[in-house]
Amino acid sequence: MHTKTIAQLAQGLHTGNFSSVELTQAYLQRIQQYQSLNSFISITDVQALAAAEQADLAIAQGKAGPLTGVPIAHKDIFCTQGIKTSCGSKMLDNFIAPYNATVVEKFTAAGLVSLGKLNMDEFAMGSSNETSFYGNVQNPWAENTVPGGSSGGSAAAVAARLIPGATGTDTGGSIRQPAALCGITGLKPTYGRVSRYGMIAYASSLDQGGPMTQTAEDAALMLQVMAGFDPKDSTSVEHEVPDYNADLNNSLQGLKIGLPKEFFDAALNSDMATTIEAAINEYKKMGASVVEVSMPNLKLAIPAYYVIAPAECSANLSRMDGVRFGHRCSNPADLNDLYIRSRAEGFGTEVKRRILVGTYALSEGYYDAYYIKAQKIRRLISDDFNKALQEVDVIMGPVTPTPAFGIGEKTNDPIEMYLADIYTIAINLAGLPAMSIPAGFINKKPVGLQIIGNYFAEAKLLNVAHQYQQVTDWHQQTPHGFE
């Protein structure tokens, strides 16, 4: 059963080929069998089996929704009532969420079964899932390589078929980059499309939740549940949610694809460029045309991002001070000692680095020089995308400059690590939707093709991705040993 997609599992549940309890038990057994991947922080087997029993009852009574009884798991950044929500950090190792995030609430209401909470870079800060307090996650395609980050646990678990789908979040590429490195489908929706309520904030103007699955069809099914306006979230956009499955089979005849010349530069591995070009040739066979576009301000994306995101994380993480919730140092001498030692003990190295950078950028005398300038650059990048998307239907290119790199290979060079997101960060700064789909292999390591669309054009991206997956089988490949 573990090789089936969400769409196939939903059909099997409704036709009675198997029960949700049987399905849940099968996936829980696989999770236990492959714990060496370290993709889960918490496994909620008791709650999952109880939810599966309720799902089977709903199906038997004819009260089930389209995805009732299908197992998934949540990135440990989404609050789950009564269950530890750690955000991959020692700071929240003892935090039991008193409420559900809106995304979790939506999946629960739709009858899906949560199997647990997935490992991640601490507070979503990282590109390799090596900053987690609970240890690094291994990429199932090559267990000495990283799965990407920060949603590395989600990507590794879906790739290894421990779960058919997972939630992830994307601040600068944290859905698309691990999806690419693990050979799965990952979608970052338009900013504001999915509620951020109950999703622990890293950078509030950039964070966005989305689905991570085997196929584009499955991503459409999950997004159908996740998307929608939420009055609890001030950044949520009141915009009609379409039927994301309705246009999946539309022809791509006449599709205009834009290729940014800035994506195909010296930073891109030559084998990666060849693989991406081969994927785009498949689109040409389906009737698409390709034009070169230019976005000259893309080169400024990384410096702008690493001012804006740390500035916002500095503000967001100030609430974690050892007083209200989270880690608290023992025997503080006074209030100042409580603050200093609680935060020093609770936060990891990368989180501390970004807090310091962000606090510096927001300080008097530097706010105008750094933060305001970065926001102006952000507008220029957004304008570049808007101009390009007036000429083409979608923009395509690589997700990462190289395939998965080795565990420990970049941990001592933060700048080199930041460059792993060189092709994804700009999309978050612009607030656009984008996705990664499997497009081949280099030395048996997966490669992802990035597809970028206009605001709220998720249905178009899913259509473009689904049609590619009808003529290729990269998304059907399973890592050796996890068949």
Greatest Cα pair distance, the chain, in angstroms, is: 70
Q: Which CATH number fits domain 6-255+391-476: 3.90.1300.10, 3.40.1190.20, 1.20.120.450, 3.30.1490.190?
A: 3.90.1300.10
| DSSP code per residue over 288-329 | -EEEEE--GGGGGHHHHHHHHHHHHHHHHGGG-SSSSSS---
pLDDT score at 143: 83
What tokens appear for 156 in the block?
């590794």
From the list 86, 174, 314, 342, the catalytic residue is: 174
Q: Give CA–CA dist 169/210, Å, rounded.
A: 6
- Chain region(s) in the chain for CATH 3.90.1300.10: 6-255+391-476
Residue 106 known to be catalytic: no
Answer yes or no: 294 catalytic.
no
Give the model confidence (pLDDT) of 64-88 as tens digits.
999 999 999 999 999 999 999 999 9
Quote the tokens at residue 446. 């997966």
Residues in Cβ contact with 58 at an 8 Å cutoff, skipping those fewer than 6 apart: 64, 68, 69, 111
Residue 415 has a pLDDT of: 85
What pTM value is reported for the model?
0.96
What are the phi and psi torsion angles at 235 (to 5°)?
A: -95, 0
Question: What average pLDDT score do residues 227-247 get?
Answer: 97
150 catalytic? Reply is: yes
Cβ neighbours of 275 (radius 10 Å): 21
Place of tokens 């039991």: 96
pLDDT in tens, 271-323: 999 999 999 999 999 999 999 999 999 999 999 999 999 999 999 999 999 99
Yes or no: say if 460 and 452 are a contact pair by the CB < 8 Å rule.
no
What are the pLDDT digits (tens) for 408-421?
999 888 888 988 89
The predicted-structure confidence for 153-171, as pLDDT tens digits, reads as follows 999 999 999 999 999 999 9
> Is 267's pLDDT higher than 90?
no
Among the options 39, 86, 150, 236, which is catalytic? 150
Which residues partner with 406 through β-bridges?
Answer: 145
In the predicted structure, residue 364 carries a pLDDT above the cut 90: no
Contact by Cβ (8 Å): 53, 21:
yes
At 427, the amino acid letter reads I
Residue closest to 147 by CA, chosen among 115, 117, 176, 171: 176
Of the residues 42, 75, 132, 460, which is catalytic? Answer: 75
Instruction: Tell me the per-residue pLDDT of 135-157, one tens digit each, with 9 for 90 and over.
Output: 999 999 998 999 999 999 999 99
**Range 45-53 contact pairs with CB under 8 angstroms and sequence separation of 24 or more:** 45/115, 45/116, 47/83, 47/114, 48/24, 48/113, 48/114, 48/115, 48/116, 49/21, 49/24, 49/25, 51/24, 51/108, 51/113, 51/114, 52/19, 52/20, 52/21, 52/23, 52/24, 52/113, 53/20, 53/21
Residue of 388, 385, 394 whose CA lies nearest to 451? 394
Please state the rounded mean pLDDT for residues 353-381: 94
Q: What pLDDT is stored for residue 394 in this prediction?
A: 98
Note the pLDDT of residue 436.
98
Mean pLDDT of 57-69: 97
Q: Are 47 and 83 in contact (CB under 8 A)?
A: yes
